Structure 1
Amino acid sequence: MNIKILSRSASLFSTDALVQAAVKRKHNVQVIDPLSCDIVIEKKKPEIYYKGKKLDHVDAVIPRIGSSITFYGTAVVRQFEMMSVFTTVESQALVNSRDKLRSLQILSKAGLGLPKTVFTNYSKDVSEVISHVGGAPLIIKLLEGTQGLGVVLAETKTAAESVLEAFNGLQARVIVQEYIKEAKGADIRVLVVDGQVVGAMKRQGKEGEFRSNLHRGGSAKIIELSDEEENAAIKAAKSLKLGVAGVDMLQSERGPLILEVNSSPGLEGIQTATGRDIAKSIIRFIERSV
């Protein structure tokens, strides 16, 4: 098959792992930068040109669209869909997953456990917002934040009020979530491919850090999921219609709570922690689907 990987750089671990997995399974694979694609829209004749060359006979694409290029990257994925090319992550699913508020609303409607979350239109009554999630400590997240950036733990009501007032003054959109104390600075990342769990790891934040992101010095180890956790991860990916998803959840006294669902999950951390070839699972997903 002829597979295109939409990525800004061929040297990124996840992109390179996908290339190697595709080559091992005898596919033609090319990494293309979505920002270097030109979209040609014409009646019943959608086309994509990459660096001046028309892209023909493409069987499948694997979007590795970073949050900073969501708008144009999604437009490229949508154009491939118009050309009847299979994509591991559909354009609309990508858009929904990138909108933290929208994705939480979809997950809530699906009946999944979530930390209690509040979103307001720059409410001046920050005290009421704090009370809605059960008071401090609480988590404040920028809607556009990634890899733990723009996430604040406010340990007291005074601190929470100060941070919310500051964000409101900057007109920065934030959500406020309850703090799950029993999680103890750890979360679970589950990789779901084509409705099946293909890997899971538990990430622990470094000492004194409530964020468990590996980019921020956290550690990871393989974990065996409970049936409830596995079912929650699969249902979360399905509700957002993601063929490939990284589902982040917390272990709580009331069961697994979904934090967010990532449509372009990094593969390095989970492949290292689990020893599993996640990239191969994604290529096999394409083989089953095309």
Structure 2
Amino acid sequence: MNIKILSRNKNLYSTKRLVEAAQKRKHTVEVVDPLKCDIVIERRKPHIYYKGDYIRDVDAIIPRIGSSVTFYGTAVVRQFEMMGTFSTTGSEALVRSRDKLRSLQMLSKSKIGLPKTVFTNYSRDVEGVIEQVGGTPLVIKLLEGTQGLGVVLAETKNAAKSVIEAFNGLQARVIVQEFIKEAKGADIRAFVVDGHVVGAMKRQGKEGEFRSNLHRGGSAEIIELSDEEEVAAVRAAKALGLGVAGVDLLQSDRGPLILEVNSSPGLEGIEKATGKDIARTIIRYIEKNV
């Protein structure tokens, strides 16, 4: 098969691993920078122009679209879909997953466990917002934040009011979530491919840090999910229409709670923690569907 990986950097761990896995399975594979693709729109003849030539006869694409280039990256994915190309992440699913508020609403509709969350239109009733999530401590998140950036833990009511009012003053959109104390600064990343959890790791924030992101200095170890946690991860990916997803969840006294569903999950942390060849699993997912 002819496979294109949409990535801006061919030297990234995830991109290199996907190339290796595709080549081992005897496929033709190329890394394509989505921002250098020209979208040619014509009646019944959608095309993509790249580096002086038209891209033709592509069987599948693997989008590795960064959050900062979601708009154009999604347009390129959509164009490939119009050309009849299979995508491991559909364009509509990609858009849904990047909108934190929309994705939480869709997960809620699917009756999936979530931390209690409040979103307002720069409400002046900050104390009311704090009460809605059960008081402090609470977590404040920028809607556009990634990799733990733009996430604040407010431990007192005064701190929470100050942060929320500051964000409101800057007209920065935020959501306010209850703090799950029993999670103890740890979360779980479940990697879902084609409706199955193919690997899971528990991420622990470094001492004094409530965010468990590996980019923030957290550590990871392999974990065996409970049946309830596995079902929650699969249902979350399905609710957003994602064939490949990284589902982040918390262990709480009332069961697993979904934090976020990532449509371009990195492979480095999960492969090193679990010792599993996740890249190969993604290539086999393509083989099954093309």
- TM-score w.r.t. the length of structure 2 is 1.00
- Do residues 272 (structure 1) and 236 (structure 2) align? no
Residue 94 of structure 1: aligned partner: 94
Residue 149 of structure 1: aligned partner: 149
1:160 positional shift: 0.2
The CA deviation string for residues 105-158 of structure 1, in whole angstroms up to 9 with x for no partner, is: 000000100000000001111110000000000000000000000000000000
Residue 215 of structure 1: aligned partner: 215
The CA deviation string for residues 195-245 of structure 1, in whole angstroms up to 9 with x for no partner, is: 011100000000000000000000000000000000000000001000100
3-state DSSP of counterpart to 1:188: strand
1:53 positional shift: 1.1
Pairwise mapping of residues 119-198 of structure 1 onto structure 2 (< 5 A)?
A: 119-198=119-198
Give the RMSD, CA atoms, in angstroms: 0.3
3-state DSSP of counterpart to 1:74: helix
3-state DSSP of counterpart to 2:162: helix
Tell me the amino acid that sits aligned with residue 162 of structure 2: S
3-state DSSP of counterpart to 2:17: helix
3-state DSSP of counterpart to 1:30: strand
In 2, distance between residues paired with 1:239 and 1:10? 31
In 2, distance between residues paired with 1:157 and 1:94? 36
In 1, distance between residues paired with 2:272 and 2:17? 12
In 1, distance between residues paired with 2:99 and 2:28? 33
Residue 18 of structure 2: aligned partner: 18
In 2, distance between residues paired with 1:275 and 1:235? 25
Pairwise mapping of residues 31-70 of structure 1 onto structure 2 (< 5 A)?
A: 31-70=31-70
The CA deviation string for residues 44-63 of structure 1, in whole angstroms up to 9 with x for no partner, is: 11000111210000000000
The CA deviation string for residues 38-91 of structure 1, in whole angstroms up to 9 with x for no partner, is: 000011110001112100000000000000000000000000000010000000
Give ranges in structure 1 of 5+ residues lacking alignment: none
Number of paired residues?
A: 290
In 1, distance between residues paired with 2:219 and 2:246? 17
Give ranges in structure 2 of 5+ residues lacking alignment: none
Tell me the amino acid that sits aligned with residue 90 of structure 1: G
Residue 113 of structure 1: aligned partner: 113
In 1, distance between residues paired with 2:20 and 2:154? 43
1:185 positional shift: 0.1
Tell me the amino acid that sits aligned with residue 58 of structure 1: V
3-state DSSP of counterpart to 2:11: coil
Residue 3 of structure 1: aligned partner: 3
3-state DSSP of counterpart to 1:221: strand
1:166 positional shift: 0.2
In 1, distance between residues paired with 2:228 and 2:21? 31
- TM-score w.r.t. the length of structure 1 is 1.00
3-state DSSP of counterpart to 1:160: helix
3-state DSSP of counterpart to 1:139: strand
